[in-house]
Amino acid sequence: MKIKRILFYLREFFFPAGCALCGVTLTSMDETWYGLCGSCRNDMLLCGGEEESCDLCGRPLISEKGRCLSCRNGEDRHFDRVITLYPYTGKYRKLLAAYKFNKNLAVGCFLAERIRESVRRLNITEDFVMVPVPPRPGKIRKTGWDQIEYLAKLLARGQAKEGKKFYVAVNNFRSKKHIATSAENIRVSRCLKRLPSISQKKLNREDRRKNLKGRILLTRTPPKTAIVFDDVITTGSTLDACAAVLKAGGAEKVYGICLFYD
Ligand SMILES: [Zn+2]
Ligand SMILES: [Zn+2]
């Protein structure tokens, strides 16, 4: 108990922070670790990906059954199944902004955990490797960091970089279940790269597809079963372009996990 407290105060001393969503002072170890207060975190844990969703692209279904309209209308999809968690609106948007634009790395820990959970929900029985969606070269120059790569690191390490030993120590005080769900390492392969192209943001579905054509390349042999992950899915063209390249290179199954859908 004593060590737990000391570590907690040390962390608070060096990284004092409020909740990324509501701003209240964070008071427990869990809260500071994830950068969210208990009630905001519970809110986030309660929803996200539980409603009925398209078995292909992961979007929630409104009146359709099994598959959403755009997936049913014969759109070319190279991925086998995608899980998405949150609508890219309101507090969910704020959560991503805290991580992506304000570089709140604690929120990154929370998002990485949500990706792990989604992996479990995919129920894949074979060995898999996670593949981050490669960033647009110009984008990193502009924002200075690659938020997907940071998540990849968290997934591969099983714990956050700056708190690895600390986290293991803290986890020893927690239930066995928590250790089991947060410490497993996931294999990550950065086998895709992206050539410079213009930003997808203002393009429509068809132009997005054209814009990406030939712009995503394999840098090494892809895994047999890949789970591509990204932060936001809009039309799904980026994910699909990645899946197409992976499959052309020999991958048999390609799944996707996106934290937010727009
Ligand atoms: Zn809060
Ligand atoms: Zn769909």
Q: Could you report the per-residue pLDDT of 203-235, keeping only the tens digit for each?
A: 887 788 788 888 899 999 999 999 999 999 888
39 CA to middle of ligand 1, Å? Answer: 6
Both tokens assigned to 69: 């309209």
61 CA to middle of ligand 2, Å? Answer: 8
Q: How many domains does the chain have?
A: 1
Beta strands 216-218 and 253-261: pairing type? unpaired
| CB-count burial class (<10 Å; 0-12, 13-18, 19+) for 226 | buried
Return the pLDDT at 73.
76
42 CA to middle of ligand 1, Å? Answer: 9
Helix (H, G, I), strand (E, B) or coil at 107: helix
Q: Which ligand is nearest to the CA of 261?
A: 2
Q: How far apart are CA 172 and CA 135, in angstroms?
A: 36
Q: Which ligand is nearest to the CA of 239?
A: 2
20 CA to middle of ligand 1, Å? Answer: 7
Q: How far apart are CA 154 and CA 95, in angstroms?
A: 18
Return the pLDDT at 175.
39
Residues of the chain with pLDDT under 50: 160-165, 168-169, 172-183
Q: Which domain holds residue 237?
A: 2-261
212 CA to middle of ligand 2, Å? Answer: 20
| pTM attached to this predicted model | 0.82
Beta strands 192-194 and 216-218: pairing type? antiparallel
Q: Which ligand is nearest to the CA of 42?
A: 1
Helix, strand and coil content of the chain, in percent to the nearest 5, comes to 45, 15, 40
Which neighbouring-strand residues pair with 91?
none
| CB-count burial class (<10 Å; 0-12, 13-18, 19+) for 212 | buried
Q: How far is CA 96 from the centre of its chain?
A: 10
Q: Which ligand is nearest to the CA of 18?
A: 1
Q: How far apart are CA 7 and CA 11, in angstroms?
A: 6
35 CA to middle of ligand 1, Å? Answer: 9
